[in-house]
């Protein structure tokens, strides 16, 4: 039986079957989509497929229209992957065809779906762009069990970090100011724009207890780094985690990650998703120290006529020049311009 695909109006709420809701991840569900729409005004397109009145597929897209980064539809805006889930190949292909149709009707440059596809290959009309992976740590009730798999150097770095005088706080809106300051500052040091504080505030309000901020402080109480962690089922995901440059050589990154691994192991989480990184990048090298399961992500593209695969990442030589310039800009300019730029990199 051929699945029927339906586009939902904005005010219709749907309770997805548990398996589909889990596969769609938090970035594919209404609280996240509502947060993104409130923050940047992106139109949201939610589609479901049904077979014999049973929901067997879900696809949630937003339209990003930016003066620099183009006009496109994408899943999991400002997240790593998710927003696309299905229980059969037929429902998968029906949803993808509907997405292409919407893309043509809107006149966008491309449609991008980002998800876990295991060993699947995209259907006709779609291309896979294999540049990102995510890194999944299987947690243990006794966090020290994780240490056994680490290299001796990595264990030594974690122990050194614990003797440096760092402290960490986990919380919610009570940590908003410090979390934002640390993230915005560290992103500037890395040469990347960042959102404004309202972005984090709206996210925290929308996700409620599913979100937790972490802030790392130096020996004198100064900001050293921060993280944003989100719970979905028995998985906790690292959405953002950054350390200020002056504390990186002091292993503050190891302190942040190990503190999070301990906390979420003891809370009964089963998996810590370290978040996506470009394959072959320095971030990937750091994450592989924690002995995760590396999983390549499906980044499938449907290109509209006359368009090419976008290169909206650090592998693009033009981004290298922009990163170099951004690092040199004064903080007030970065805080003003950052949200205008980052909104186009959903």
H runs (alpha helix) in the chain: 18-24, 30-40, 89-106, 144-147, 152-162, 176-190, 197-207, 245-248, 252-266, 282-288, 317-328, 331-342
Residue 14 is predicted with a pLDDT of 87
Say yes or no: 119 and 213 in one domain.
Answer: no
Residue 201 is predicted with a pLDDT of 98
Q: Is residue 288 part of a domain?
A: no
Residue 317 is predicted with a pLDDT of 74
Residue 27 is predicted with a pLDDT of 98
**CATH number of the domain to which 78 belongs:** 3.40.630
Domain count, the chain: 2
Say yes or no: 158 and 261 in one domain.
Answer: yes
Say yes or no: 168 and 262 in one domain.
Answer: yes
Q: How far is the C-alpha of 262 from the C-alpha of 284, rounded, in Å?
A: 21
Q: Is residue 291 part of a domain?
A: no
Q: pLDDT means per 10 residues in the chain (346 residues)?
A: 91 92 97 97 97 95 96 98 96 98 98 92 94 96 90 98 98 98 97 96 98 98 98 97 97 98 96 96 96 96 95 76 87 92 95
| DSSP notation for 277-313 | EETTSHHHHHHHTT--EEEEPEEEEEEPTT------S
- Residue with tokens 């109006």, as numbered in its chain: 9
Q: How far is the C-alpha of 121 from the C-alpha of 240, rounded, in Å?
A: 29
Say yes or no: 121 and 155 in one domain.
Answer: no
| Residues in Cβ contact with 218 at an 8 Å cutoff, skipping those fewer than 6 apart | 165, 166, 224, 247, 252
Q: Is residue 264 part of a domain?
A: yes
Angle (CA) 136 212 196, round 5° = 105
What is the number of H-type helices and E-type strands within the chain? 12, 16
DSSP-derived letter for residue 186 is: H
CB count within 10 Å of CB 202 equals 19
Element (H, E) at 212: strand 211-217
Say yes or no: 68 and 42 in one domain.
Answer: yes
Residue 197 burial class via C-beta count within 10 angstroms: exposed 0-12, middle 13-18, buried 19 and up: middle
Residue 278 is predicted with a pLDDT of 94
How is residue 103 written in tokens?
């893309």
Q: Is residue 28 part of a domain?
A: yes
**CATH number of the domain to which 204 belongs:** 3.40.630.30
Say yes or no: 67 and 120 in one domain.
Answer: yes
Full domain range(s) for residue 71: 4-132+297-310
């Amino acid at each position: 039986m051929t699945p029927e695909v339906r586009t939902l109006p904005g005010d219709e709420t749907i309770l997805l079957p548990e398996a589909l809701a889990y596969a769609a991840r938090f970035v594919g569900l209404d609280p996240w989509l509502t947060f993104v729409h409130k923050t940047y005004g992106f139109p949201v397109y939610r589609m479901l497929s049904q077979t014999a009145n049973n929901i067997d597929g879900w696809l949630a897209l937003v339209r990003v229209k930016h003066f620099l980064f183009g006009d496109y539809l994408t899943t999991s805006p400002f997240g790593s992957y998710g927003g696309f889930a299905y229980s059969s190949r037929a429902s998968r292909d029906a949803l993808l065809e509907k997405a292409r149709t919407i893309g043509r009707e809107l006149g966008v440059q491309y449609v991008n779906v980002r998800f876990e596809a295991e060993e699947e290959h995209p259907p006709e009309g779609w291309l896979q762009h294999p540049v990102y992976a995510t890194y999944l740590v299987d947690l243990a009730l006794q966090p020290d069990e994780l240490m056994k798999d680490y290299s001796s150097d990595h264990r030594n770095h974690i122990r050194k970090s614990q003797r440096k005088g760092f402290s960490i706080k986990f919380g919610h809106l009570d940590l908003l100011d410090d979390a934002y300051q640390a993230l915005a500052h560290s992103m500037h040091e890395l040469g990347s724009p960042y959102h404004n504080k309202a972005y984090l505030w709206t996210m925290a309000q929308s996700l409620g207890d599913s979100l937790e901020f972490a802030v790392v402080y130096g020996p004198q109480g100064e900001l050293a780094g921060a993280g944003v962690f989100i719970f979905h089922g028995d998985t906790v995901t690292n959405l953002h985690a950054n350390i200020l440059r002056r504390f990186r050589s002091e292993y503050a990154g190891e302190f942040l990650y190990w503190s999070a691994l301990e906390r979420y192991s003891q809370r009964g989480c089963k998996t810590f998703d370290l978040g996506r990184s470009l394959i072959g990048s320095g971030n990937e090298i750091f994450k592989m120290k924690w002995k995760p399961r590396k999983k390549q992500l499906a980044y499938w593209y449907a290109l509209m006529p006359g368009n090419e695969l976008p290169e909206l990442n650090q592998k693009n030589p033009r981004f290298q020049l922009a990163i170099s310039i951004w690092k040199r800009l004064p903080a007030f300019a970065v805080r003003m311009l950052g949200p205008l730029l980052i909104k186009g990199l959903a």
